[in-house]
Amino acid sequence: MDITVNILLTIATAATPLLIAAIGELVVERSGVLNLGVEGMMIMGAVGGFGAGYLTGSPWIGLLAAIIVGALFSLLFAVMTLSLATNQVATGLSLTLLGLGLSGMIGTTFVGQPGVRLPNLDIPGISSIPVVGKLIFGQDPVFYISIALTAAVMWFLFRTRTGLTLRSIGDSHTSAHALGIKVIRYRYLAVIFGGACAGLAGGHLSLVYTPQWVENMSAGRGWIALALVVFASWRPWRVLAGAYIFGAVWIGQLHAQAFGIPVPSQFLSSLPYLATIVVLVLISRNKRLTMMNTPASLGQPFVPDR
Amino acid sequence: MGGTVSANHDRSNLLEVRGLTKIFGTLTACDHIDLNIAKGEIHALLGENGAGKSTLVKMLFGSLEPNSGEIFWDGRAVKITSPGVAKKLGIGMVFQHFSLFEALTAAENIALSLNDGSPISTIAAKARALSFSYGLPLDPDSLVGDLSVGERQRIEIIRCLLQTPQLIILDEPTSVLTPQEADKLFETLERLRSEGKSILYISHRLEEVKRICDRATVLRHGKVVGHCNPREETAASLARMMVGSEVKAVVRAPAEGIETAPALLEIRGLSRKPATPFAIPLKNINLKVRVGEVIGIAGVAGNGQGEFFESISGEVLQQDAGSVRIRGKDAGGLSITGRRLMGAAFVPEERLGHGAAPRMKLSENLLLSRHATDGKAFVGSGGMVRNGAVYSAAQRIIKAMDVRKSAPDPEAAALSGGNLQKFIVGRELDRKPSVMVVNQPTWGVDAGAAAHIRQALIELARSGSAVLVISQDLDELFELSDGIAVMHNGELSTPLPIAEATFEKIGLLMGGAEPGHAEHSLEVA
């Protein structure tokens, strides 16, 4: 029984950073901007979070720093692509490369240092209830943030006027501009929100998942988050499903390898990617729905004519 | 000037424009424009493509910033710095393109332009009520991507009316409507005028301007060239003001013995499933185009014309090879090049990016489309391109079609729309194809160039080819065709011989009346 609970807990821990980064990127892409710099913003968040936590001794300050660093780093992308109308793909890729290099440089002094870890939520009496107590009430704080964030983004996008405006910009920035909507301002805010989310996801890695600093510790999670958004056809609840499928198969294959199942380990390692893609392809077979949710102006630079 | 220009001294001007100028780089799109719009009038803004009409109204709606000039609203000097400011003043706009969101519902589209924060359901109810009171029924919950162009325009109009504007700007509103839908629109406009609202009506269709507008301002090359009362003018005199010279009328000699001539292009039971969720399926289309004849395909945009063209040209292959036959042979399984080699030629709707590669020279564009059919002339031994031959062929086409350009062999993107279209049509005509299929031959082309292209198509047919023209412009089809068929919702009616075709009959078919029952439904209407 305990093993099952532990496995479920580790799945949640593995899925949380993917979910947060992907939800942030979903909002960015819904506004019509493609930011391929998720990996870079995430690793910057990780190193910033670790550094602030290490220096102050407070994991909470570390988490806050991770968010701020991610947001500031995305601001660089926003200025380039929105104000200067550079190519979003090229700018996003260079953001990732810059983030990986810069974080490695900043982090040289942190390598091998003991980090601080965010404590798990612990409500006396309730958290000790078997299974349910631990699963629902005994996880790390970022887990709760990730679930609340997903719900909030769903509500924002589909229930509020501001969310409708954001979606309309993603559908057609020229139409939105013609109606007098401030396209660039909305996109700035969306990109910064995405950066803050990626930073938070990075902070989760270096303050919860493995509370230490290792170069390249994001290990491609930013790319997985990006893929999740596309395969989830830009719908928040599918991002949630995708992140947890990935987390489950990831943990599952680790256990399978530990038990020595006679399957090549390379195949097992690739399973999470394959499984996530297969499941999300299956649930996005409805072309019409996919079409409706795909931001039509995704990746196109917008220069208002004045 | 001011009051002395206005025909009505008792009505003050709702909007006055003085010396409005907009410069894009080296082009002066609007050059010291003066315009007065009185309260309760329908004012026409006339001009050819590129005369500066759209630029002017974009400045009035705040989407463009003028370089100089003044705007007075109700006698007060105003600066319209954004569409929001225009809306607050009471200016509403019904756009020609680009202002609806396809992935959103009608109600959501309307909500986006009303900044009052009321719930979508309230807005939907209001829109529904208003749409019925104006006789423009609308389902607020439908997805815009699923709607016809006419229905989309209703959303735009309702959206505009919900803001209770004093001045409504309509940019080419009837270019996408059937004649009957246009009638409905005119009723709405007259009702709005009787409610004291002003309307600025932009169009290049002279008959409707004569019918509903009280005054007209004519633009040419960015300048105001005249004011007039359109009711006192003839369509020909208005055209002369717009173009600045006489437009040569297209001559169509009656075709003889067409009924017995062999068909060069034959479509038999052509069907196609929709490629995307918003696309139109083609349903069992049958058509014959014979030696010496021009067949026109009418229809409101988005009823499957694009899908039909792709199927004939070979951009999309058919499963049944016999569903497209060129010169008596099955061509349904052949690619574009295969069909070209059989003697067919195609001109797609989009000039830049589809009909021509924008950053390539005209001669290179010529080689791109004709390297296979004219392989012997253009490509030498070992696959080397004979640049000299290609260049002189390009010059021959430029001369034949009177293409005006700034350099001997300019890039396609450097030409104006009309001149590029002349080159693209000329490129195909130069081959003397036995089957010619053209989609929107003169869309956005000035009157002189349009007449030239139409005349060339008629002459090609009379010299023994079969010509198929798909167009949204009914005037054009009546000028060109020996028979007109109508495409509606992916189905094609039987062609009506031109002698029997009238605007009313074609209009009913465009609106979806059952083919073959046009006479009957005419009586009902």
Residues A32-55 have pLDDT tens digits of 999 999 999 999 999 999 999 999
Mean pLDDT of chain B: 85
Verify whether the Cβ–Cβ distance A293 to B103 is below 8 Å: yes
B27 vs A10, residue with greater confidence: A10
pLDDT at position B2, please? 40
Verify whether the Cβ–Cβ distance B82 to A172 is below 8 Å: no
CA B196, B197, B198, B202 dihedral sign is: negative
* CATH class for the region spanning B2-243: alpha beta
Using CB atoms within 10 A of its CB, is residue A148 exposed (0-12), middle (13-18) or buried (19+)?
Answer: exposed
Using CB atoms within 10 A of its CB, is residue B127 exposed (0-12), middle (13-18) or buried (19+)?
Answer: buried
Establish if A300 belongs to a structural domain. no
Helical packing angle, B417-429 and B387-401, nearest 10°: 110
Verify whether the Cβ–Cβ distance A179 to B99 is below 8 Å: yes
Report residue A56 as tokens.
Answer: 């102050």
| A86: number of Cβ within 10 Å | 16
pLDDT at position B255, please? 75
Q: Which of B101, B141, B155 to mutate to probe the A interface, most A CBs <10 Å?
A: B101
pLDDT at position A226, please? 93
Establish if A304 belongs to a structural domain. no
Verify whether the Cβ–Cβ distance A167 to B104 is below 8 Å: yes
A148 vs B84, residue with greater confidence: A148
Q: Is the pLDDT confidence value at B167 over 50?
A: yes
For chain A, count helices (H), then strands (E).
13, 0
pLDDT at position B523, please? 37
Establish if A299 belongs to a structural domain. no
pLDDT tens for each residue of A195-225: 999 999 999 999 999 999 999 999 889 999 9
Q: Is the pLDDT confidence value at B6 over 50?
A: no
| Of residues B108, B137, B126, B125, the one with CA closest to residue B163 | B126
pLDDT at position B301, please? 78
pLDDT tens for each residue of B270-297: 999 887 766 788 999 999 999 999 999 9
pLDDT at position B522, please? 38
Q: Is the pLDDT confidence value at B158 over 90?
A: no
pLDDT at position B11, please? 46
Verify whether the Cβ–Cβ distance B62 to A296 is below 8 Å: no
Residues of A in contact with B104 (CB under 8 A): 164, 167-168, 171
| Nearest CB neighbour to B112, from listed A165, A288, A293 | A165
Q: What share of chain A is helix, strand, coil (3-state, %, to 5)?
A: 75, 0, 25
Q: Per-residue confidence at B403, pLDDT binned at 50, 70, 90?
A: confident
Bridge pairing between strands B68-73 and B76-78: antiparallel
Verify whether the Cβ–Cβ distance A179 to B83 is below 8 Å: yes
For chain B, count helices (H), then strands (E).
18, 21
Verify whether the Cβ–Cβ distance A287 to B277 is below 8 Å: yes
> What is the DSSP annotation of B51-63?
SSHHHHHHHHTTS
Report residue A193 as tokens.
Answer: 């929100």
Q: Per-residue confidence at B524, pLDDT binned at 50, 70, 90?
A: very low
Establish if A53 belongs to a structural domain. yes
Establish if A64 belongs to a structural domain. yes
Residue labelled with tokens 């493609």: A34
| Nearest CB neighbour to A291, from listed B113, B117, B278 | B278
| Of residues B289, B328, B327, the one with CA closest to residue B308 | B289
- The pTM (predicted TM-score) of the whole model is 0.76
In terms of CA atoms, which chain A residue is nearest residue B109?
Answer: A168
pLDDT at position B5, please? 42
Q: Per-residue confidence at B142, pLDDT binned at 50, 70, 90?
A: confident
A291 touches chain B (CB under 8 A): yes
Q: According to DSSP H, which parts of B79-196 are helical? A: 83-89, 106-113, 120-133, 149-162, 179-194
pLDDT at position B520, please? 39
How close is the nearest chain A Cα to the Cα of B419, in Å?
A: 25
How close is the nearest chain B Cα to the Cα of A144, in Å?
A: 30
Specify the domain boundaries for CATH 3.40.50.300 within chain B: 2-243, 250-343+433-525
B112 touches chain A (CB under 8 A): yes
Residues of B in contact with A165 (CB under 8 A): 112
Verify whether the Cβ–Cβ distance B95 to A178 is below 8 Å: yes
Phi, psi dihedral angles at B117 (to 5 degrees): 70, 5
How close is the nearest chain B Cα to the Cα of A176, in Å?
A: 7
How close is the nearest chain A Cα to the Cα of B43, in Å?
A: 23
Superfamily of domain B250-343+433-525: P-loop containing nucleotide triphosphate hydrolases (3.40.50.300)
pLDDT at position B1, please? 39
CA distance A296 to A284: 17
In terms of CA atoms, which chain B residue is nearest residue A289?
Answer: B277
Q: Which of A31, A161, A294 to mutate to probe the B interface, most B CBs <10 Å?
A: A161
CA distance B256 to B276: 43
pLDDT at position B447, please? 76
Verify whether the Cβ–Cβ distance A161 to B87 is below 8 Å: no
CA distance B509 to B83: 38
Q: What's the CATH code of the domain at A268?
A: 1.10.3470
Give me the torsion for CA of B438, B444, B449, B452, rounded to 10°.
30
How close is the nearest chain B Cα to the Cα of A186, in Å?
A: 14
| Nearest CB neighbour to A161, from listed B62, B104, B117 | B117
Establish if A303 belongs to a structural domain. no
pLDDT at position B525, please? 34
Q: Which of A30, A165, A168 to mutate to probe the B interface, most B CBs <10 Å?
A: A168
B421 vs B416, residue with greater confidence: B421
In terms of CA atoms, which chain A residue is nearest residue B67?
Answer: A306
Q: Is the pLDDT confidence value at A260 over 60?
A: yes
pLDDT at position B98, please? 57
SS3 B290: strand
Mean pLDDT of chain A: 90
Q: Does ipTM come in above 0.90?
A: no
In terms of CA atoms, which chain B residue is nearest residue A287?
Answer: B277
In terms of CA atoms, which chain B residue is nearest residue A290?
Answer: B277
Establish if A288 belongs to a structural domain. yes
Residues of chain B above pLDDT 90, percent = 41
Q: What domain count does chain A have? A: 1
Q: Per-residue confidence at A169, pLDDT binned at 50, 70, 90?
A: very high
Verify whether the Cβ–Cβ distance A179 to B112 is below 8 Å: yes
Q: Which of A175, A289, A291 to mutate to probe the B interface, most B CBs <10 Å?
A: A175
The lowest-confidence range among B135-139, B395-399, B422-426 is: B135-139
Q: Which of residues 246-285 of B touch A (CB under 8 A)?
A: 276-278
pLDDT at position B280, please? 83
Q: Which residues contact A262 (CB under 8 A, 6 or more apart)?
A: none
Q: Which of B99, B152, B155 to mutate to probe the A interface, most A CBs <10 Å?
A: B99
Residues of chain B above pLDDT 70, percent = 94
Q: Is the pLDDT confidence value at B473 over 70?
A: yes
| A95: number of Cβ within 10 Å | 25
A189 vs A259, residue with greater confidence: A189
In terms of CA atoms, which chain A residue is nearest residue B95?
Answer: A178
CB contacts < 8 Å between A and B, how many? 67
pLDDT (mean) for A250-268: 83
pLDDT (mean) for A242-249: 90
Verify whether the Cβ–Cβ distance A164 to B112 is below 8 Å: yes
Highest mean pLDDT among A93-97, B28-32, B230-234: A93-97
pLDDT tens for each residue of A116-146: 898 887 777 777 777 777 777 778 899 999 9
pLDDT at position B99, please? 80
CA distance B468 to B450: 16
CA distance B511 to B472: 13
pLDDT at position B487, please? 93
Residues of A in contact with B87 (CB under 8 A): 180
Establish if A301 belongs to a structural domain. no
In terms of CA atoms, which chain A residue is nearest residue B82?
Answer: A180
Phi, psi dihedral angles at B32 (to 5 degrees): 45, 65
A180 touches chain B (CB under 8 A): yes
In terms of CA atoms, which chain B residue is nearest residue A175?
Answer: B99
SS3 A19: helix
Q: Per-residue confidence at B208, pLDDT binned at 50, 70, 90?
A: confident
Q: Which of residues 109-168 of A touch B (CB under 8 A)?
A: 161, 164-165, 167-168
| Nearest CB neighbour to B64, from listed A172, A296, A306 | A306
Its domain, for residue A263, covers 2-293
Residues of B in contact with A292 (CB under 8 A): 103, 143, 145, 277
